[in-house]
């Protein structure tokens, strides 16, 4: 399947952002049916440039992640990226998963350290495995034949004790080790992103494709839970709007669409190279945001 870096190059030459969507492996068979028979079918109108599939805590979804990425590529003909983490895995196990992925036609991997199972607490490296994601990037680069993505944090990584600039230096190191592009954590204040992008480009001495991670909010309660886990800041005005909306889910979805549309318009005006939707396995908000912005991928062209 196509390398994402080639898609980025082509879209960049056309002056258009790459449009992608992230899914997580559903827990149930019914969830899987709904994802493929409803969500992915509905998203077809967006002509997505690529999709990505997360990797559950501690490798708990290895088979499902592989199966989903393969199915998206083979049946829907959409390039897909597999997320891969270092949690609970020695190098030989990671090599086995990567071999399986490559044998199934997967060419794009998002190389992550991962969070401890449960999402909180201190990350403990597995003896014989990797402590940081740059080591996984290095491992994949040396293996060859892959396009490698890495995670970036516009507000700095939640557990980086030395602050955001130290975290961004670690990101630059991941690029030096062979990552082809960055996918960011969700953020709601574009100033954070612009400062992050300027810093990274200056340190690198060149631009690198960055897919901005955008979450069209669907519920205030859920957003607070997510941001507690990943450390993203909810701007005060957004927080008070969501508190006012309260339990009115329909109003929250509409608010999320309007917020993400405004946020993305500003990012598109600032020529971001790509937009990565955290769609939570649903299509509605992502489609509405894209419709508001006249945003579409260009798969197959
Ligand atoms: C787009 C995206 C997708 C994600 N998908 C998944 C997923 O599918 N499954 C999952 O479990 N998690 C996922 N995550 C969460 C991610 O695994 C966590 O945020 C994790 O805590 C950090 O991963 P990383 O790859 O950035 O780690 P690293 O790059 O290893 O960084 C982890 C911490 O170590 C620090 N650090 C990095 N390098 C060094 C160094 N050389 N020396 C000292 N300190 C260093 C960093 O500043 C940071 O604080 C995703 C995150 C993003 C942004």
Q: Is residue 298 assigned to a domain?
A: no
Q: Looking at residue 161, what is its pLDDT?
A: 87
Instruction: Give the residue numbers spanning the domain of 223.
Output: 4-293
Q: Is residue 300 assigned to a domain?
A: no
110, 112, 133, 275: residue to mutate for ligand 1 pocket, most atoms within 8 A of CB: 112
Q: Is residue 264 assigned to a domain?
A: yes
Q: Is residue 299 assigned to a domain?
A: no
Q: Which residues line ligand 1 (CB under 6 A)?
A: 54-55, 57, 83, 85, 110, 112-115, 132-134, 151, 157, 159-160, 167, 170, 173-174, 183, 185, 213
Instruction: Give the residues across from 182 on adjacent strands.
Output: 150, 210
Active-site residue (options: 22, 155, 211, 288)? 22
Q: Does residue 122 have an active-site annotation?
A: no
Written as tens digits, the pLDDT of the chain (301 aa) is: 899 999 999 999 999 999 999 999 999 999 999 999 999 999 999 999 999 999 997 778 999 999 999 999 999 999 999 999 999 999 999 999 999 999 999 999 999 999 887 666 788 899 999 999 999 999 999 999 999 999 999 999 998 889 999 999 999 999 999 999 999 999 999 999 999 999 999 999 999 999 999 999 999 999 999 999 899 999 999 999 999 999 999 999 999 999 999 999 999 999 999 999 999 999 999 999 999 999 999 875 5
Determine the distance separating the centroid of ligand 1 and the alpha carbon of 203, expressed in angstroms. Answer: 19
Q: Is residue 301 assigned to a domain?
A: no
Q: Looking at residue 117, what is its pLDDT?
A: 72
> Which residue in this structure is represented by tokens 């949690």?
87
Which value, to the nearest 10 degrees, does the dihedral of the CA atoms of residues 95, 97, 99, 100 take?
170
Residue 157 and residue 243: Cα distance in Å, rounded? Answer: 26
Residue of the CA atom closest to atom 15 of ligand 1: 114
Determine the distance separating the centroid of ligand 1 and the alpha carbon of 153, expressed in angstroms. Answer: 9
Q: Is residue 114 assigned to a domain?
A: yes
Q: Is residue 102 assigned to a domain?
A: yes
CATH number at residue 110: 3.20.20.220
Residue 95 and residue 156: Cα distance in Å, rounded? Answer: 29
Q: Looking at residue 120, what is its pLDDT?
A: 67
Q: Looking at residue 4, what is its pLDDT?
A: 98
- Please state the domain count of the chain: 1
Q: Looking at residue 301, what is its pLDDT?
A: 57
Q: Is residue 30 assigned to a domain?
A: yes
Rg (CA), the chain: 18
Q: Is the pTM of this model over 0.95?
A: yes
DSSP assignment of 23-91 equals E---SSHHHHHHIIIIIHHHHGGG--SEEEE---GGGTTHHHHHHHHHHHHHHH---EEEEEE-TT--H
Give the residue among 232, 220, 223, 243 at the shortest CA–CA distance from 190.
Answer: 232
Q: Looking at residue 119, what is its pLDDT?
A: 67
């Amino acid at each position: 399947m196509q390398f994402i870096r080639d898609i980025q190059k082509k879209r960049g030459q056309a002056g258009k952002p790459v449009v992608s969507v992230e899914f997580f492996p559903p827990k149930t068979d019914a969830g899987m049916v709904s994802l493929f028979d409803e969500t992915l079918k509905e998203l077809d109108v967006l002509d997505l440039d690529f999709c990505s599939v997360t990797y559950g805590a501690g490798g708990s979804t290895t088979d499902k992640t592989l199966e989903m990425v393969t199915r998206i590529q083979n049946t829907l003909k959409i390039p897909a990226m597999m997320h891969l983490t270092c949690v609970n895995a020695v190098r030989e196990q990671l090599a086995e998963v990567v071999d399986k992925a490559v044998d199934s036609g997967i060419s794009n991997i998002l190389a992550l350290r991962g969070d401890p199972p449960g999402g909180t607490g201190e990350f403990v490296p597995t003896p014989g495995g990797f402590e940081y994601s740059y080591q996984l990037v290095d491992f994949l680069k040396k293996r060859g034949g892959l396009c490698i993505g890495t995670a970036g944090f516009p507000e700095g990584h939640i557990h980086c004790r030395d602050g955001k600039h130290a975290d961004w230096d670690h990101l630059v190191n991941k690029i030096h080790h062979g990552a082809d592009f960055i996918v960011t954590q969700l953020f709601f204040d574009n100033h954070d992103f612009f400062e992050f992008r300027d810093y990274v480009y200056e340190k690198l001495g060149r631009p690198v494709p960055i897919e901005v991670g955008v979450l069209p909010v669907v519920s205030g309660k859920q957003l607070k839970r997510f941001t507690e886990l990943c450390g993203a800041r909810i701007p005060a005005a957004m927080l008070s709007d969501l508190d006012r909306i309260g339990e009115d889910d329909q109003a929250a979805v509409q608010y999320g669409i309007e917020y993400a549309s405004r946020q993305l318009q500003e990012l598109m005006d600032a020529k971001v190279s790509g937009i990565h939707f955290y769609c939570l396995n649903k299509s509605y908000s992502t489609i509405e945001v894209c419709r508001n912005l006249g945003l579409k991928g260009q798969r197959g062209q």
